[in-house]
A and B are shown apart, each in its own frame.
Chain A
Amino acid sequence: MKLNTVGKNIIRVDSYSKVTGKALYPQDIYLENMLYAKTLRSESPHAYIEVDTTEAEKVDGVVKIFTHKDVPYNHHGVVLHDHNVFCDKKVRSIGDPIAFIVGESEEACIRSMKAIKVNYAEIPGVFDPVEAMKEDSPKVHDDKSNIIYHYKLRKGNVEEAFKNCAVIVENTYSTHMQEHAFLQPEAGLSYVDEDGTIVVVVATQYPHYDREIIARALNLKDEQVRIINTNIGGAFGAREDITMQIHLALASKTLNRPVKVIYNREESFLAHSKRHPMIMKYKTGADKDGYLMAMEAEIIGDSGAYCSWAINVLRKAGVHSTGPYVIPNVKVDSYAVYTNNPFTGAMRGFGATQVPNAAEQQMDILAEKLGISPIEIRRRNIFRVGSKTATGQVLLEGVPLDRCLETIAEKYEEFLELKEFGNLKAEEESI
């Protein structure tokens, strides 16, 4: 078969505009008669708030300060509607939006923002997801349990299987929160079109969701809102949740003038999700020949103050928790938990990134206990064509893990030789 495209180097269609600086991101667009905006954000992780904008409204150049009172349906979220567009009674994490100040210049907005009085009546917060799971822990959302989601995976009988294992390894692993730090900080603008359509210009991963969420919050029909997706300066999952989209649409609709907002880097950090930190308690057992017999895992993901994609992320963590290994008896419980930490959501790998830290270290330790090489224990347990995963999926094709492992095995032998002859340090330095 002759292929016209596959196997050939193709110049990206957008690369010309990007190497010439002609590619437009939202911050690059300037409209006539445009207003600027700033977002007032919570400085407390858990507090009842009272907001007084009286003085701030008098600041020269300020056009309007929007708060929760201006939003018909003050809720949004990609799965649960647990974010407020603007916090009303309570803030649940540092960075929660409280008000949107619109003015003739960015400087006027900043002056006004500083004049807004927020009284924070601090309430006890919860920052450790294990604590948050307890019955008597402070609740992040009203009286609702902090446990958002519990995923259960059951296969065979782990209790029985552990009895017959030659080796058992038990450990708890934890991973940290991670920031996407895409290079283009969030920016956007909004205006009302000639036909009354509210246009929101943003760099987003979900223009269709954005439209729906904006329409719902402002009590509009979907077709009254239009999203223009510009060039996107990196996203990695952090542009899946709404940030300024509803604020902008509300402002341009109310004021009938274009409104633009640009987050600086610090605000960008505050505004979007992070990678879920996970606490992963693992128990893995193998027989005397190094074949895996059973695995039990409890995975707790810190969702921060909002759910975002936590349900999907913790489900995925649970599904991938065995690593690419055949294990006949599996028991997994994964939980997504609210805390007053910054909220977490989608980030490259979506829950499949954290669990290998635990699963693969368990394999290494098992190998060491059994006196076989880390390559060999994997050779005996990896998914191959025809293998069945813990969730019951039979892998019928496209399982090249054996080839991957053999390629690593060659390098691994070289690595061991270098180590033996003491050349490893020199080699490492040359890398």
Chain B
Amino acid sequence: MFIQLVINGINYKVDIDPNMRLIDLLRDKLGLVGTKEGCGEGECGACTVIMDGESVNSCMVMAFQADGSNITTIEGLEENGELHPIQKAYMEEGSVQCGFCIPGMIMSTKALLDKHPNPNREEIREGISGNLCRCTGYNKAINAAERAIEILKEGAKNEA
């Protein structure tokens, strides 16, 4: 069956199997392997992508359910070769170790900041509560979100 959707600003019309999950479509069919599979049951959040403005576990969404949707994956964050402020912040704050949780963690952070540009620490914790990390823990991820908020504000000031 064919579905149509937008991924990272690009229109796709793809032939999918009815039993294909969104993560399989992204990784196996379209080569967007930045989205990771850690558990396959919606527990770890490594496969988080943004679908129509909401963060979703792409292992829990069937590919056909994504028909007509607008999806952002980790590959869609860089703009004109420039890292997204959240990506920069993760590097600066030393929030990255093994890296397997990072794409999902960054996508959850982005989904949060897109909706609430100025969350407090508690709200950031809530925002990434669906993402498991086994190396670094969560404080540095929260620090990175706070740093990203700063960078975003500086950017907005410069534009104004």
Contacts and interface: CB of A to CB of B under 8 A. Distances in A.
B99 A265 contact: no
Contacts of A236: 134
B100 A21 contact: no
B36 A25 contact: yes
| 7 tightest Cβ-Cβ pairs between the two chains A and B | A21-B34, A18-B99, A233-B100, A21-B74, A28-B33, A19-B87, A183-B100
A183 B83 contact: no
Interface of A: 9, 11-12, 14-25, 27-28, 30, 180-185, 231-236, 264-265
Say which size band chain B's interface belongs to: 35 or more
A234 B98 contact: yes
Contact of A182 (B32, B73, B74, B98): B98
A265 B41 contact: yes
Given A15-B91, A27-B37, A265-B41, A183 B132 contact: yes
A258 B33 CA distance: 19
A20 B86 CA distance: 11
B98 A19 contact: no
Interface of B: 27-28, 31-41, 44, 46, 73-75, 77-78, 83, 87, 90-92, 94, 96-103, 106, 132-135
A183 B44 contact: yes
Given A25-B36, A265-B39, 4 more contacts: A11-B91, A12-B94, A22-B34, A183-B134
A24 B33 contact: yes
Given A19-B87, A20-B87, A184-B36, A234 B135 contact: yes
B41 to A, nearest CB: 7
Tell me the dominant secondary structure on chain B's binding face.
loop
B96 A20 contact: no
Contact of B134 (A231, A234, A265): A234
Contacts, number: 93
Contacts of A235: 98
Contacts of B31: 30
Contacts of B74: 20-21
12 contacts: A11-B91, A12-B91, A12-B94, A15-B99, A19-B83, A19-B90, A19-B96, A20-B77, A24-B33, A183-B44, A184-B36, A185-B37
Contact of A264 (B40, B87, B100, B101): B40
B139 to A, nearest CB: 14
A19 B100 contact: no
B83 A20 contact: yes
Contact of B100 (A12, A22, A30, A184): A184
A264 B145 CA distance: 30
A24 B46 CA distance: 14
Nearest to B78: A20
A19 B74 CA distance: 8
Contacts of A264: 40
B91 A19 contact: yes
Contacts of B96: 12, 14-15, 18-19
Nearest to B17: A107
Contacts of B133: 183
B82 to A, nearest CB: 11
A233 B31 CA distance: 19
Nearest to B93: A9
Contacts of B91: 11-12, 15-16, 19
B90 A21 contact: no
Contacts of A22: 34
Most central of B38, B44, B46 by chain A CB within 10 Å = B38
A264 B91 CA distance: 29
